[in-house]
Amino acid sequence: MQTLSTPVKAAITELTAQQHEPFYLYDLDQLAKHLKTINDQSIVKLWYAVKANPLSAVIQTLDQAGFDFDVASSGELKQVLSQGIDAKRVLNTGPAKSKQQIEEFLTLGVTTFVAESVNQVAWLQEAALRHDTQLRILLRVQLRWPNNEKNPLGGDSLTPFGLGADEWATISLIDYPNLDFAGLHIFQWGNMLDASKLASLWQQMIAPLVSLSKRLKMNLRILDLGGGLGIPYSREDSAIDWQAILTSLAQFKADAQVDELWMELGRYAVGECGYYLNPIIEQKKNYGANQLILAGGINHLLRPAVTGQAFPATLLRESQATTVPFTLHGPLCTALDNLGEHQLPADAYENDWLLFSQCGAYGFTESMPYFLCHTLPAEFIYQAGEVRCMRAPLTPSEYLR
Ligand SMILES: Cc1ncc(COP(=O)(O)O)c(C=O)c1O
């Protein structure tokens, strides 16, 4: 797990003296360093899954590190284009691509798509013909495994992401002359920390994917393995072994005999660079248990309610007090607003701040910010030793209509 560097901690402490509401801070120096490490290789082409964190400065840091961009909506596309990134460097994934969205993407110059249904293939062909252009298409495949793995992206259960091999095998690629079917896309697991388990899952995919490409008479040049690389959210977990991932990807590429492997990373790319700072409103004892009531909860950081997995939390200031177990509660009128059980100094009181780490991915934009009309958290960046406010806190009177 990333440890907060001394200058970033000092910058955060200074910010907490000025701020009264929860806020996010992204350490872009740390992010740039991490991205350089993972992109300094020629085994897998890396795209950034913008859904993980669409902040402009984050996108720019990914751009400078040589990543291209996976977008899943018109909003994400426009955010990427407004950073000066060429539409040719954009990949569009996602199960809900309307005819209107496809038209808009082509008008804005996007040429690479992951198709997730037979309708999407037909609509992409119609749009490509209208625009007199050729599109590069990967077909998203949903495979089933006997060992019944489950997680939010589906694992072995039925999801709307792509189609089974038998459904894809019903189409004839020559019916779509404006589409260059370059390969297949598969991604069914999330937040994996075990490189050997991933390697084994990837190996099991080769035979069914190659078999499908043969049934389709597709020249399989590209395989896209999506995202799914995890970061540790608890101190017991260790980071995924990136070198081991590269070794298994190299083996996978050789075994599948493809020219290119792609991945579009979200969590593993940006998750560790983000911090969420949250003031304590009060400490109380309830049925003998220690509770901390916080200014922000799942309205700013939803993931614990969806996955049951808390973000790591520490007291920002130094304390010599012994640590005791606390449950952390946000301000919403639902017991779901629970940021987990944490061992914290017994003297954590009002006027203190908690520091949540590993919050760079699936943080603010994945949350439910309007519930109970609280202030939306500010977003700050730390870059080259400087702190910059990217968005000031937004009060309810500014956003309510
Ligand atoms: C198609 C696709 N690719 C990549 C990602 C990013 O996944 P991760 O954050 O696990 O890297 C997602 C996330 O939902 C996705 O839907």
Question: Is beta strand 274-286 parallel, antiparallel or unpaired with respect to 289-294?
Answer: antiparallel
The CA distance from 162 to 166, in Å, is 12
Mean pLDDT of 234-250: 95
Mean pLDDT of 194-217: 94
Q: Residues lining ligand 1, CB < 6 A? A: 49, 51-52, 70, 93, 187, 190, 226-229, 264-268
Is the separation of the CB atoms in 226 and 209 below 8 Å? no
* Structural domain of 151: 86-265
Mean pLDDT of 67-71: 98
**Confidence at residue 158, expressed as pLDDT on a 0 to 100 scale:** 86
Q: Which of 222, 239, 265 is the last residue of a domain?
A: 265
Mean pLDDT of 282-297: 97
Residue whose CA lies nearest to ligand 1 atom number 12: 227
Atom of ligand 1 nearest to the CA of 271: 9
Mean pLDDT of 350-378: 96
Q: In this structure, is residue 288 part of a structural domain?
A: yes
The CA distance from 346 to 362, in Å, is 30
Atom of ligand 1 nearest to the CA of 267: 9
Structure confidence by residue, pLDDT tens digits, 84-101: 999 999 999 999 999 999
Q: In this structure, is residue 18 part of a structural domain?
A: no
The CA distance from 277 to 148, in Å, is 38
Do residue 258 and residue 281 come from a single domain? no
Q: Please, which pLDDT band fits residue 3 given cuts at 50, 70 and 90?
A: confident
The CA distance from 65 to 276, in Å, is 24
Is the separation of the CB atoms in 143 and 149 below 8 Å? no
Q: How many CB atoms lie within 10 A of CB 205?
A: 19
Catalytic residue annotation? 333
Do residue 190 and residue 113 come from a single domain? yes
Q: In this structure, is residue 135 part of a structural domain?
A: yes
Mean pLDDT of 273-279: 98
- The residue to mutate among 142, 151, 187, having the most atoms of ligand 1 within 8 angstroms of its beta carbon, is 187
Q: Please, which pLDDT band fits residue 180 given cuts at 50, 70 and 90?
A: very high
The CA distance from 24 to 229, in Å, is 23
**Confidence at residue 174, expressed as pLDDT on a 0 to 100 scale:** 98
CATH number at residue 214: 3.20.20.10
Q: In this structure, is residue 56 part of a structural domain?
A: no
**Confidence at residue 194, expressed as pLDDT on a 0 to 100 scale:** 94
Helix ranges (H only) for 308-401 are 396-399
The CA distance from 375 to 360, in Å, is 20
**Confidence at residue 189, expressed as pLDDT on a 0 to 100 scale:** 85
Reading the block at residue 322, the tokens are 């012994």
Is the separation of the CB atoms in 56 and 83 below 8 Å? yes
Q: Please, which pLDDT band fits residue 154 given cuts at 50, 70 and 90?
A: low
Distance 267 CA to ligand 1 centre (A): 8
Phi and psi angles of residue 136, each rounded to the nearest 5 degrees, phi first? -95, 125
Q: How many CB atoms lie within 10 A of CB 204?
A: 14
The CA distance from 267 to 311, in Å, is 13
Question: What is the number of domains present in the chain?
Answer: 2
Distance 29 CA to ligand 1 centre (A): 23
Nearest to 112 by CA among 128, 131, 135, 129: 135
Atom of ligand 1 nearest to the CA of 227: 11
Range of weakest confidence among 185-199, 248-262, 276-290: 185-199
* Torsion sign (Cα): 240, 189, 37, 12: negative
Q: Which of 265, 289, 307 is the last residue of a domain?
A: 265
Q: Which of 207, 233, 265 is the last residue of a domain?
A: 265
Residue whose CA lies nearest to ligand 1 atom number 3: 226
Q: In this structure, is residue 22 part of a structural domain?
A: no
Do residue 149 and residue 252 come from a single domain? yes
Distance 226 CA to ligand 1 centre (A): 6
Q: Please, which pLDDT band fits residue 144 given cuts at 50, 70 and 90?
A: confident
Is the model more confident about 20 or about 150? Answer: 20
Vertex 23, ends 17 and 25: CA angle to 5°? 95
Phi and psi angles of residue 186, each rounded to the nearest 5 degrees, phi first? -145, 130
Reading the block at residue 303, the tokens are 């993931």
Distance 133 CA to ligand 1 centre (A): 28
Q: How many CB atoms lie within 10 A of CB 226?
A: 24
Reading the block at residue 239, the tokens are 């980071």
Q: Please, which pLDDT band fits residue 148 given cuts at 50, 70 and 90?
A: low
